[in-house]
Amino acid sequence: MNLSEPYLPAGRKEILEIFENTGALLRGHFLLTSGHHSNVYFQCAKVLQYPEYAEKICGLISDHYHSTEIDTVIAPAIGGIIVGQEVARQLNKRSIFAEREDKTLSLRRGFSLEKGEKVLVCEDVVTTGGSVFEVIDIVKNYGAEVVGVGYIVDRSNGKVNFSYPQFSTIKLDAISFSQEECPLCKEGIELVKPGSRKIKI
């Protein structure tokens, strides 16, 4: 069984500890909404509920882009809002978000972008990158310019390429198994559905 440890660049150990201490990163045997099983469950909101941790972790994104020319930070709702707001606060830039209406992300609430405006896209977790790709399209449709993408956790297993500079504070490979192939089931480890009572199979 290869349940590889998350990729951990130097200096990122503290982030992993914060994730574990806040319960954002759980290790065990989990039933995912997809029906697959995993040895890791991650819920970014659990760490972002603490502003001091949001400041520290989002600080890695703002540090990374501090010398990039940025006018505005944009994020997809809901998960990305706190990240975008905190990164924008640290960079002292405007912060806006796109939200889903009829399944499509768009700018509402009077938010807008100007032609040529330089925009940093922020998100909490990237798995397939779908929401970020949608936000990139919004920025381009306004004639504004994407200068980079910053996100806290890369769960894409290295597969997502936004075609712009991209930076994640940590990579946590998403490993999941069908029930039939799950090594944790074979070991008889109790299956847990995150966010609910423990269930047994």
Choose between 132 and 182: whose C-beta lies nearer to Zn ion.
Answer: 182
Residues binding Zn ion (CB under 5 A): 37, 182, 184-185
For the beta carbon of residue 171, count every other beta carbon within 10 angstroms.
17
Choose between 103 and 197: whose C-beta lies nearer to Zn ion.
Answer: 197
Least distance from C-beta 187 to Zn ion, angstroms?
Answer: 9
Q: How far apart are CA 154 and CA 160, in angstroms?
A: 9
Choose between 30 and 42: whose C-beta lies nearer to Zn ion.
Answer: 30
Closest residue to Zn ion in the complex (CB): 182
Choose between 121 and 184: whose C-beta lies nearer to Zn ion.
Answer: 184
Helix axes 79-91, 51-64, angle to 10 degrees: 60
Least distance from C-beta 174 to Zn ion, angstroms?
Answer: 15
Beta-bridge partner residues of 122:
150
Least distance from C-beta 33 to Zn ion, angstroms?
Answer: 15
Q: What pairing do the DSSP bridges indicate for beta strands 176-177 and 37-42?
A: antiparallel
Least distance from C-beta 183 to Zn ion, angstroms?
Answer: 8
Q: Are 27 and 39 in contact, with CB atoms under 8 Å apart?
A: yes
Least distance from C-beta 186 to Zn ion, angstroms?
Answer: 8
Q: What phi and psi values does residue 6 have, to the nearest 5 degrees?
A: -60, 145
Choose between 49 and 178: whose C-beta lies nearer to Zn ion.
Answer: 178
Identify residue 113 by its one-letter amino acid code: L
Q: What pairing do the DSSP bridges indicate for beta strands 37-42 and 145-154?
A: unpaired
Identify residue 98 by its one-letter amino acid code: A
